[in-house]
Amino acid sequence: MRPTGTPGSEPASHTTAAPEAAPRSALRALCSPATLTGGLTELAWVGAHVLMYPLGTRTEQLQPDSLHRPGRSPAVRALFAADPLAARTPVLLVHGLVDNRSIFAVMRRSLRRRGFASVCSWNYSPLLRDVARAAEDLGAHIERICAQTGHDRVHVVGHSLGGLIARYHVQRQGGDRRVDSLVTLGTPHGGSVLAHALPTPLVRQLRPGSPVLQDLAEPVDRCDTRITAIYSDLDQLVLPTSAGRCDHPDLDARNVLVRGVGHMSLPIHRGVLDEVALTLAGGRAATADRAPVHAVA
């Protein structure tokens, strides 16, 4: 499946909390062509993902791709102009709840085409009951990648719950020693009210104000990982959608809003793929603290 893109859904960086929309403006937004297109794209991708799901049940082994190197095209050379070595840094993709690595089929191919030589994914147990335990397992997997590749640090891209697991690792378990950049896609950093609908031990940890989220809200002495939280105003699972922002005064975090993109479509949206590639290549690091503030209509 090719990356998707919707007119008017380009990412916009935010450094302050987005203002709430008026009810009438929100209603107009829900009826806009971009939102309708995004909803149809979400339905189509969910159907395709269901068919692909069985193919992603096994954890992918890291296989560096020697064919994708900076310098093969002007676009790739431009992407890594700020940091040519970034292309060799391993990229680890972490899926969300009740999912597997098949959600990253488009993103994995896109990153490799853009010059990232080492891209792999990690499947955690479908019987997961605790975010902190999953974060420990993620740390062990990152250590294996570093030992296998000889790199001291990696990049992590986490979708939904995968982003929260990765954040817990870098923020509370010293994972910032290994994780250079963390990009989260549709991650409930502030929890989701939908988590009240399913009283399982793991889902309870995703409720606003849960002990896990309170732990993440605690002061942080040091965290060397740069965090980019990409969230959408059409996310059906992270409610309110502003809960997809990572707002912590002690973290080097940047929030990026995309419009009209569903929760499951975030890893295949063209604008999101561009933002992820630019961030991992170091193209966003120098402007992270000076990103313009865009009002949300």
Alpha carbon distances (Å) from 225 to 59, 186, 192 = 25, 19, 24
Asked if the structure places residue 125 within a domain, the reply is yes
pLDDT at 193: 97
Asked if the structure places residue 13 within a domain, the reply is no
* Domain range enclosing 282: 21-290
In 173-269, alpha helices (H): 201-204, 211-216
Residue type, 269: H
pLDDT at 69: 54
**Cα-Cα-Cα-Cα dihedral sign, residues 92, 198, 50, 126:** positive
Residue type, 283: G
Average pLDDT for runs of 10 along the chain of length 297: 58 49 47 66 65 66 59 79 87 94 94 93 91 98 95 97 98 98 98 95 97 98 97 96 97 95 95 96 58 33
pLDDT at 16: 44
Give the span between the Cα atoms of 204 and 193, in whole angstroms. 10
What are the structure tokens assigned to 88, written together?
Answer: 């060799």
End-to-end CA distance of the chain: 31
Asked if the structure places residue 72 within a domain, the reply is yes
Asked if the structure places residue 6 within a domain, the reply is no
Asked if the structure places residue 273 within a domain, the reply is yes
Give the span between the Cα atoms of 41 and 38, in whole angstroms. 5
Asked if the structure places residue 157 within a domain, the reply is yes
Give the span between the Cα atoms of 170 and 235, in whole angstroms. 25
Which SS3 state, helix, strand or coil, does residue 1 take?
Answer: coil
pLDDT at 294: 36
Asked if the structure places residue 34 within a domain, the reply is yes
Give the span between the Cα atoms of 176 and 30, in whole angstroms. 39
Q: Name the one residue in this structure whose structure tokens are 């939102």.
A: 35
pLDDT at 86: 87
pLDDT at 22: 41
Asked if the structure places residue 68 within a domain, the reply is yes
Q: Name the one residue in this structure whose structure tokens are 């009438």.
A: 24
pLDDT at 291: 39
CATH number of the domain within which 252 lies: 3.40.50.1820
Which SS3 state, helix, strand or coil, does residue 27 take?
Answer: helix
Cα angle 33, 36, 41 (rounded to 5 degrees) comes to 120
The domain tally of the chain equals 1
What are the structure tokens assigned to 102, written together?
Answer: 């098949």
Q: Name the one residue in this structure whose structure tokens are 């896609």.
A: 185
pLDDT at 223: 97
